[in-house]
Amino acid sequence: MAGPSSTDPAPSAASVAPLAAPTGWSNESDDMDLAYYWQGRNGDLKATLATWYGLANAQPLITRLPDFGDVMFLFQSGSKYYVWNGVENVVCSIDSPTNLEEIYNTIAKLGQGRLGDLKMTKLLQKKR
């Protein structure tokens, strides 16, 4: 069985049960621009999250649509979910709810791409 090659396509969103993205968010690969954010054209977010925050193997799930004037991803590392705000360069862990479907439902309550009433904790960088 062959290993990954240098011509492998852009990473896909994490393999989870298919859930519809909340209003104002998308899990479409064109909207997520995974090659730009997660494979080095604008830095390597996956490597940055591992180095600065200790979040190994981060997998993007959804991104906020560009209509809102910012860059934001909801991603998974291990069994937890996080939000990366690219404008402020801030990472927050989602403390509650902890189930992805409930997270999406909470985000959907306010709509317009907002995060709703998610309980989050801002993470401190481990390395700069």
Give the tens place of pLDDT for each residue, 19-46: 999 988 999 988 888 888 887 666 688 8
Structural domain contains residue 30: yes
Banded pLDDT at 8 (limits 50, 70, 90): very low
Element (H, E) at 60: strand 59-64
pLDDT value for 33: 86
In angstroms, the CA 33 to CA 63 distance is 9
- 96 within a domain of the structure (yes/no): yes
Q: Give the model's pLDDT for residue 72.
A: 92
Domain around 105: 25-122
pLDDT at 16 over 60: no
CA-based end-to-end distance of the chain: 38
How do residues 65-81 score in pLDDT, each as one tens digit?
877 678 899 999 999 99
How many domains does the chain contain in total? 1
Are the C-beta atoms of 75 and 84 separated by less than 8 Å?
A: yes
